[in-house]
Each structure stands twice: as structure tokens, then as C-alpha cells.
Amino acid sequence: MDFYKKFIVNPDKKADVREIDTSRTFGWDDREKIAARLAGNVRIMQELQYKIYAENRQSLLIVLQAMDAGGKDGTINNVLWTLNPQGCRCRSFKVPSTLEASHDFLWRIHKEVPGRGEVVIFNRSHYESVLVERVHEMCPRKILEKRYRAINSFEKVLASNGTAIVKFFLHISREEQLKRFGERLDDPRKHWKISESDYKEREYWDDYMAAFNDALNRCSTKYAPWFIIPADNKLFRNLAVSEILVKTMRKMDPQMPEAHIDAAEIRRLYHRAANGNPA
């Protein structure tokens, strides 16, 4: 299966997150088969990350969005963890600080985008400004319209500067969310993650789905595509994310840089030093 084609939000065709069966695994039900495939993908990603880092020309931005308990942390802990921290950063965007809130909605985001050779993971992102702020009517419709356009323009600037952008909506059902909240309740080590507001946000589920629909359809572009990942099944979710990342990084086609040395000259220096002469 071509995960990339299967889950991309086609810029020319409307997608509706409400029509997607979040529990589907497309025949990928054998844990060991998935684990083996994932391990292979991880090796490919590590190899490609090394080349992106060495090449020092392009960069990769990975955006994760999901409802609470949708698996953003899990995807980082199980897939993205494998990337080398030299050249890979992870940035969470929580409720804006006073300083952040005193600027435009892209200010705090722009500061954190990847530089050349870097991979950056956004755990939540600028899309919060057209999701939570829309659902809670913190942003008038007219400004919202401007934000979609501003996001596309912003991402185009990044893409033109050599940043590959890939955006994942980890899509779980309302029932799956409740199940995961229940599991957190059963695990004292996870109690600190729970807040009452999680339950309050559940009441806005349909509004969130409508907000995701607009964000995904209006901001899935050739240069910064959205992917909707059926994410009730964690193993399948991990596999799907890794498959799409492998394809994205392969498209970047990073090249080991030419050595900027005269190998013969270096060899001469080396042998001089090895023979005890000062070098």
C-alpha cells in the first residue's frame, strides 16, 4: 500500500474527517510484521537524516496535530525518538505565554522552524490558532479567513527556502479518546497528565472536527501536505507515519556533500604527522 497517496489530503479534492473510519488498519494486523517494517523504516530514516545533516542545504518540518490523547507523544516516543538529537529538535506549543500572545500568531512559530540540515518536530503548531481558537470563538470568522491564507503563505516561504513540510492529523474516534482517558486513570504514573479540561473539550468534539476539516482542506498544499492518519490503532499509526516520512525524506534526496579538502594533501599531512614530524 502507498501510505503517502492513501492518506494525503488532496489539494484538489475535499476530505471529510467525519467520514473516515479511524480504526482501519488496511490488513496490517500482524504485530511482528508491523514491527519489522517499522524497524526497517527507522533505519532508512536515520540514514537519510544523516545525509540531510551532512548536506546542510535542506530541512524537514514535521507537524503533529490531534485531539487530546490522539497519540502525538506516542508517535514521538515510538517513531521520531529514533532520530539523532544532533540535527533534530522537538518543540511543543502550549497555551501562548504573555510575550508570545503579545505578537502575531506566527511569531513564536517562526522562531522555531528548522535551519539548514535540521529536522524539527512540532507537537501542536500554528494550527492551534485555527483549531482551539476557532472552537472557543476567540477568533472572529473574518480573521480566521486571513489566518488560513497567512499559514499557506508562511509555509510557502519555508518551502521556498528548502524546508520539506509534512503535517499529520492523528485521527482517533471519540470512543477511542474516552478509552485512553480511562487507561490514564488506571495508571497512576499518568495522573499528572490528566486535567478536567480534557473532559470539557470533549463536548466540543463536533466543532473540532469541523475546524479540522477546514484547516486540512484549506491548508493542504503541494509544498506542505496534510495527512489524515487513522490512529485508533497505535501500531498502525506508527507504521503509517514512518512510511510517509520515509517517502518525504527520499523525495528530498539529500546528497553527501563534496569533501572540501584535497585528499592527497591531507594524506601527506597525515603521513608526515604519523612519521613523527610536527603536523
Binding site for a second copy (CB under 8 A): 54, 73, 76-77, 80-81, 83-86, 88-90, 92, 121, 123, 178, 181-182, 185, 189, 191-192, 194-196, 199, 202-203, 256-263, 265-267, 269-270, 273-274, 278-279
**Minimum distance of a second copy from residue 194's CB (angstroms):** 5
C-beta of 76 vs 158, nearer to a second copy: 76
Instruction: Pick between residue 62 and residue 229 the one whose CB is nearest to a second copy.
Output: 62
How near is the Cβ of 216 to a second copy at its closest, in Å? Answer: 24
Q: Considering only CA atoms, which of 224, 76, 225 is closest in space to residue 159?
A: 224
Q: Which is nearer to a second copy, 80 or 164 (CB)?
A: 80
Choose between 117 and 225: whose C-beta lies nearer to a second copy.
Answer: 117
Nearer to a second copy, 6 or 89 (CB): 89
- Residue 182 CB, shortest distance to a second copy, in Å, is 6
Q: How far apart are CA 59 and CA 158, in angstroms?
A: 9
Strand bridging mode 119-123 / 163-171: unpaired
Least Å from the CB of residue 98 to a second copy: 16
CB of 92 to a second copy, least distance (A): 7
Nearer to a second copy, 146 or 272 (CB): 272
Instruction: Round to whole Å and give the CA distance between 183 and 277.
Output: 67
- Shorter beta-carbon distance to a second copy: residue 140 or 257: 257
User: Could you write out the three-class secondary structure of the chain?
Assistant: CCHHHHHECCCCCCCCHHHCCCCCCCCCCCHHHHHHHHHHHHHHHHHHHHHHHHHCCCEEEEEEEECCCCCHHHHHHHCHHHCCCCCEEEEECCCCCHHHHCCCCCHHHHCCCCCCCCEEEEECCHHHHHCHHHHCCCCCHHHHHHHHHHHHHHHHHHHHCCEEEEEEEEECCHHHHHHHHHHHHHCHHHHHHCCHHHHHHHCCHHHHHHHHHHHHHHCCCCCCCEEEEECCCHHHHHHHHHHHHHHHHHHHCCCCCCCCCCHHHHHHHHHHHHCCCCC
Smallest distance, a second copy to C-beta of residue 40, A: 19
Write down the least CB distance from residue 131 to a second copy, Å: 20
In whole angstroms, the minimum distance from the beta carbon of 32 to a second copy comes to 23
**Cα distance between residue 150 and residue 137, in whole Å:** 19
- Smaller CB separation from a second copy, 130 or 201: 201
